[in-house]
Chain A
């Protein structure tokens, strides 16, 4: 029983990290109709940016804040202007191809221009474990859960309880109507790109201490975040959270009770099952699309 609860907690913590990246997928899709297949590289780059900051003597928290600002500018607004703005309105396929291209290019540039090695990244949380009733939970897992939970609650509060958040929801739900009512759709979409970039930095902060900063570290997180978003429902932020946590928990349980060899296949199996039997996702809604 102790093992089970431990697996559940650490799986939820890992799943919360997937959920943060998946949240970016769903926000971009809802507000701008963009699927970003370079989301994994959006996580990898801030990990290196933080390492770079630390190498200049910055404390981790300051390197994180600097990475957030840089990411919002480069991965948020820069990505929007250079790629998304030019391809939005031409359907999903050009954006998918372009973001896959960005993914390959960024990985190659980092590998060739900086390093192909894995680099350790300090954890924002203390080492060690907390024992409660014979169940050991690492401080890293607790910290990850608290931080991811705070980010999700904060984001929901922003979307539901502020004027700008409501305008962003309005744009996501009905862009044309929002435009006619005087809501600055372009500005709201820019905010979403910025939020997605900052979510990627938080994901990097939480995952890099385990995965290490490496040019291809985004492959796995990007893929699982995409699966999580599909499993939960691509048009539902709550769906991204559910999908992420489901994958994290099931990976842990399968890895422990069945075989670690099957762990990496869990997300793919869940993804296939959802695509076959509930393509709109567990919490998603079927969408009408003009063809």
Chain B
């Protein structure tokens, strides 16, 4: 359990599909500004847990609280309005929009009234912030190109930048390193550390790249077969014999 419970509290969350228990009684807390890593072999229920927290699916039982408010089963729209963002394993950019427009679209719904949005300036007053993010993610040279035309790695960076555009209080990142050139992984980690420092949000990160997660996250949870097998400091989890067995077998 992490040091400051009460920001995000996941309590005994279960999600079953018939007899299959995809998530089986998972509890953990994330403190303000904390970065928590979630690891586990394929099929261990990490993404189902994310989807249960984020309203994509309703958990069979258990609760999720954000700052003391029960957000269990809330729609992604309601969660977004409460400052919760996410990225997906697969790319979710708007391929026909430019990189800059993707970033503006990611934050524009939080600005102004309905009539204001109908007739607002095209950049919704977010152009400057979008340019800052483009600079931060080193996407300036492709800022005005349609996102769908860029490389997978560049689209992945856009995806992550979009999640941070509205300055969310909580971001759940699902395999941010998947498909990213290994030479960019360190850059991505530094970006996340910088965003954590400047925006102050809490992050929960699912990742298979152990080096990435061990360096990024002060607290790690290992899931196996829908349950929390181990949690604690990265080195302790990595050295845990049960975790090694889950990954490597006997």
Contact = CB atoms under 8 A, between A and B. Distances in A.
Contacts of B81: 182
A22 to B, nearest CB: 19
The range of chain B's interface size is 20 to 34
Interface stretch (A121-129, A168-176, A267-275): A168-176
A81 interface: no
Which DSSP category, helix, strand, loop or mixed, fits chain A's interface? helix
Q: Which 6 A-B pairs have the closest CB atoms?
A: A182-B80, A177-B92, A173-B94, A182-B109, A163-B117, A163-B120
Given A161-B122, A162-B120, A166-B122, A181 B104 contact: no
A169 B107 CA distance: 15
Given A180-B54, A181-B85, A185-B77, A173 B108 contact: no
16 contacts: A162-B119, A162-B120, A163-B122, A164-B118, A166-B97, A173-B97, A174-B93, A179-B76, A180-B76, A180-B86, A180-B88, A181-B80, A181-B85, A181-B107, A181-B162, A182-B109
Contact of B92 (A169, A176, A182): A176
B104 A166 contact: yes
A169 B93 CA distance: 12
A269 to B, nearest CB: 31
Contacts of B166: 181-182
B8 interface: no
Contacts, number: 82
Contacts of B94: 169-170, 173-174, 177-178
A189 to B, nearest CB: 13
Interface string B67-104: 00000000111001100011010001111110001001
Which of A162, A163, A164, A174 has the most chain B CB atoms closer than 10 A to its own CB?
A163
Interface of B: 54, 75-77, 80-81, 85-86, 88, 92-97, 101, 104-111, 117-122, 124, 162, 166
A183 interface: yes
* Residue of A167, A169, A181 with highest tally of chain B CB at under 10 A: A181
A166 B93 CA distance: 13
A203 B107 CA distance: 36
Contact of B108 (A161, A167, A174, A176): A167
A184 B54 CA distance: 16
A164 B94 CA distance: 15
A182 B122 contact: no
Contacts of B76: 179-180
A183 B108 CA distance: 8
A177 B76 CA distance: 10
A163 B54 CA distance: 26
Contacts of B121: 163
Interface in A83-121: none
Contacts of B109: 167, 181-184
Residue from B86, B109, B166 having most chain A Cβ neighbours under 10 A: B109
A179 B97 contact: no
Contacts of A184: 77, 109
A170 B96 CA distance: 9
Contacts of B85: 180-181
Given A179-B76, A182-B81, A169 B106 contact: no
A186 to B, nearest CB: 8
Contacts of A181: 80, 85, 105-107, 109, 162, 166
B162 to A, nearest CB: 7
Given A163-B108, A163-B124, A167-B105, A182 B119 contact: no
Contact of B80 (A167, A174, A180): A180
A162 B118 CA distance: 7
Given A163-B117, A181-B109, A183-B105, A170 B124 contact: no
A34 to B, nearest CB: 20
Contacts of A173: 94-97
Contacts of A162: 118-120, 122
A180 B55 CA distance: 9
Given A173-B95, A181-B162, A166 B77 contact: no
Contacts of B110: 182
A172 to B, nearest CB: 8
